[in-house]
Amino acid sequence: MKTSKPKLYQYNVCPFCWKVKAILAYKKIPYETVEVHPLNKKEIRFSKEYRKVPIFVGPEGQQINDSTPIMKFIDQNYSEQPVFEREEKSQAKEEEWLTWADQVLVRALPPLIYKNISDSITAFDYITKEEKFNWFQQRTIKYSGAFVMTMVAKKSAKSQGIKDPEAHLKKCLSLWAEALAGKDFLGGKKPNGADLAVFGILRSIEDLPAFKFIEENSKVLNWYRGVEGLSLKAA
């Protein structure tokens, strides 16, 4: 399936999808997004075994699944603005924080942004701006998605032992601030793969009330704006 531009199959609220968009923006790579219907997923029927997002399809039709492998594929195949660390010691630290981003930071978000039906509906407001879905589809996705994610968030909080989602996210942000150790980025003078992964995850909630916790942490906010400025605001 050849295409003139690479395509990113996504949900606009998906933090893993924003990881990919962060590296694409940083490298200034033109691409197309395909918003996937979260209920029937008809847009990714071509993907027989992998039924999640993000899916990245390169201009030669290469299908890459999952956010971190996609980021690494992009970095290897688009040489402009290299991102991932090349030295073994730096790679180990980068991988440690990439894993933390996917296993800890991402999992801290649902219990906070989907903690009740009202907040979940707010998070799904974006779908009403997706013109590819008709009025009925928009409302079905919005309200059924909000209900499902509220249930998922409660189960996630319980499994992680999170009793105070706000305090948990603040702790995560403090850990990231400590990891930066006064540097502009984890990668030093420029963002590395972990910087862009964490940025993308946090970018996914920029339009939601929960983003106030990033704004309240000055070290994290300064770092965030630094990455944002270099990537011309990943979109």
Percentage of the chain beyond pLDDT 90 is 85
* Encoded tokens for 62: 């290469």
Q: Count other C-beta atoms under 10 Å from residue 142's C-beta.
A: 19
pLDDT, mean of residues 7-21: 96
Measured distance CA(205)–CA(170) in Å, rounded: 14
- Residue 128: its pLDDT value, please? 81
Confidence check: pLDDT of 232 > 80? no
Q: Which residue has the higher pLDDT, 235 or 153?
A: 153
| Catalytic site residue from 11, 84, 114, 213 | 11
What pLDDT digit, counting tens, does each position of 111-170 carry?
A: 999 999 999 999 888 888 887 888 999 999 999 989 999 999 999 999 999 999 999 999
Question: Among this protein's residues, is 185 annotated catalytic?
Answer: no
| Catalytic site residue from 9, 17, 31, 84 | 17
Question: Among this protein's residues, is 14 annotated catalytic?
Answer: yes
Q: Are strands 32-35 and 7-10 parallel, antiparallel or unpaired?
A: parallel
Average pLDDT, the chain: 93
What pLDDT digit, counting tens, does each position of 220-230 carry?
A: 999 999 999 98
Task: List, in order of start, the domains of the chain with CATH numbers.
Answer: 7-77 (3.40.30.10), 88-230 (1.20.1050.10)
